Amino acid sequence: MTQVRTRFAPSPTGFIHLGNIRSALYPWAFARATGGEFILRIEDTDLERSSQAAVDVIIEGMAWLGLDHDEGPFYQMQRMDRYKAVLADMLEAGHVYPCYMSMAELDALRERQMAAKEKPRYDGTWRPEPGKSLPPVPAGVQPVLRFKNPQGGVVAWEDKVKGLIEIRNDELDDLVIARPDGTPTYNFCVVVDDIDMSITHVIRGDDHVNNTPRQINIFRALGKEPPVYAHLPTVLNELGEKMSKRNGAKPVTQFRDEGYLPEAMVNYLARLGWSHGDDEIFSRQQFLEWFNLDHLGRSAAQFDETKLRWVNAQHLKAMDDEALAALVSTQLLRNGITADERLPHICGLFKDRCDTTVALAHWAAAFYADITPNAEERTQHVTDAVRPALADLAEKLVDCVWDKASIGAAIKEVLTAHGLKMPQLAMPVRVLVMGTAQTPSLDAVLALQKQQTVLQRLKNA
Ligand code: GLU
């Protein structure tokens, strides 16, 4: 069997969002799952709308998610000579022809067709046929090149998502594949690239379904068999609209900055249009073991941030504390906070109550930077009735061995001496030391704080 070769071919015309990156995840996974190769190709021929910043987000986002490529990135703008050479061959072989119809003539044609309730399409005026005489070539007009689409018959393919699709050739007019200045157009470049890059499986968004029969005809004109196609249903945003930058979709890298884990993103994105039984939480490794093109969903998938947070929380809980600390320390650094060797333990203690590394960093900050106790909780818990016990605890902690067991014993002694129940003392201590009354068990939290910090914060009672 020939080696699987897939590609992701984004246009850098806006910041890549989750809907786009899912079109990278599946071809990547299919290549990895089959021992194949994954190619990155940047389709940057729309000079006005393409930007380097958008390319950077593509490359950064893919690296973050671990969607590594074996070849590329190839840039279409750097392949112009190749496209022009293929165009010249096609002209020579009679697969394309020059068309001198002006814009005004095309407009007039369209209007006539609309008035006659026909589908607007090029009428083949300049298409050479045996025995047909073409109009005289107008002086000083640079022609476009049109592809001589086959007439009659159908173009059919077995789409891995949508099943058999058949389009009658009569529905397809002769596509412009080079502009008057000789630059090739989109559908043509894609085919030349997919041939040159020996792509075996094209897995892409279904906004390209209409291009596929045209591309297949170009493949055949070039003497090649088209690849296998899988057209993925759209990803909708939370309002049920097609996800797009225009309606507020975030660039992929923003999820990294908001504290999502790459493993969780891959898990969540994988489920957005593919399933393996009822499995909701799985590792990258499991995903690659299970992934194939037979279980791709047929209907549009809807993004759900609450679910993404939940998936992230599951991965966060399962993650090794050292690895987690590395990510949290990056988040802390962004706020000018340098962590120390306590951070993995802090992560271990707080990760169960966090759904992002940003939330975790927020907790960790209370160990490395000043805190301001929540005013309401302070009024509620730090009362005159409990102040003597707080002072007593502070005194006991001065000479305390700084570990969880000894701190726990000191707390118990104060509870007994003052006839208090655990929450009556623990709540005000938490508010003073951590800023809020909702924390994991007090002895564990205090043991991770520095002794001096605890004593100082208790003084603010
Ligand atoms: N450049 C196209 C896009 O970003 C993808 C083309 C393809 O995958 O064939 O939508």
Task: Assign residue 328 the CATH number of its domain.
Answer: 1.10.8
Cα of 41 vs centre of ligand 1, distance in Å, is 9
Q: What is the mean pLDDT of residues 226-241?
A: 95
Q: What is the mean pLDDT of residues 249-256?
A: 94
Task: Please write the tens of the pLDDT for every residue from 362-394.
Answer: 999 999 999 999 999 999 999 999 999 999 999
* Residue 211 Cα: closest atom of ligand 1: 9
Cα of 170 vs centre of ligand 1, distance in Å, is 25
Structural tokens at position 314: 């599951």
Provide the edge-to-edge strand list for the sheet that holds 37-42: 71-75, 37-42, 5-8, 201-205, 228-232
Q: What is the mean pLDDT of residues 321-348?
A: 97
Residues 155 and 213 sit within 8 Å (Cβ to Cβ): yes
Residue 384 CA to residue 167 CA, distance in Å, equals 82
Which pLDDT value is given to residue 244? 86
Tell me if 144 is assigned to some domain.
no
CB atoms within 10 A of CB 284: 16
CA distances in angstroms from 346 to 128, 186, 257, 339, listed in the order given = 76, 53, 20, 10
* Residue 10 Cα: closest atom of ligand 1: 4
Tell me if 244 is assigned to some domain.
yes
User: Phi then psi for 176, rounded to 5 degrees?
Assistant: -75, 120
Domain containing residue 355: 320-365
pLDDT score of 1 more than 80: no
Which pLDDT value is given to residue 14? 87
Tell me if 137 is assigned to some domain.
no
Residues 304 and 350 in one domain: no
Cα of 9 vs centre of ligand 1, distance in Å, is 5
Virtual CA dihedral for 12, 18, 23, 25, nearest 10 degrees? 120
Residues 3 and 60 in one domain: yes
Cα of 13 vs centre of ligand 1, distance in Å, is 11
Residue 449 CA to residue 432 CA, distance in Å, equals 12
Helix (H, G, I), strand (E, B) or coil at 228: strand
Residue 335 CA to residue 337 CA, distance in Å, equals 6
* Residue 194 Cα: closest atom of ligand 1: 9
Q: Give 3-state DSSP helix, strand, coil % of the chain, rounded to 5.
A: 50, 10, 40
Residue 273 CA to residue 298 CA, distance in Å, equals 8
Q: What is the mean pLDDT of residues 15-38?
A: 96
Task: Please write the tens of the pLDDT for every residue from 160-183.
Answer: 999 999 999 999 999 999 999 999
Find the radius of gyration of the CA atoms of the chain: 32
Residues 420 and 331 in one domain: no
Which protein residues are within 6 Å of ligand 1, measured from CB?
Answer: 9-11, 43, 190, 204, 208
Residue closest by Cα to atom 7 of ligand 1: 9
Cα of 214 vs centre of ligand 1, distance in Å, is 14
Which pLDDT value is given to residue 292? 93
Ligand 1 pocket test, pick from 204, 211, 242 with the greatest ligand atom count within 8 Å of Cβ, gives 204
- What distance lies between CA 117 and its chain's CA centroid? 43
Residues 354 and 398 in one domain: no
Structural tokens at position 342: 């306590």
Ligand 1 pocket test, pick from 6, 208, 210, 212 with the greatest ligand atom count within 8 Å of Cβ, gives 208
Structural tokens at position 206: 């279904």
Cα of 264 vs centre of ligand 1, distance in Å, is 25
Residues 248 and 325 in one domain: no
Tell me if 112 is assigned to some domain.
no
Sign of CA dihedral 415, 423, 380, 410: positive
Q: What is the mean pLDDT of the chain?
A: 96
Cα of 65 vs centre of ligand 1, distance in Å, is 20
The strand ranges marked E within 32-190 are 37-42, 71-75, 96-99, 144-147, 154-159, 163-168, 176-178
pLDDT band at 246 (very low <50, low <70, confident <90, very high): confident
Q: Which residues of 19-28 are buried (b: 16+ CB within 10 A; e: fewer)?
A: bbbbbbbbbb
* Residue 204 Cα: closest atom of ligand 1: 8
Which percentage of the chain shows pLDDT scores above 70? 100
* Number of domains present in the structure of the chain: 3
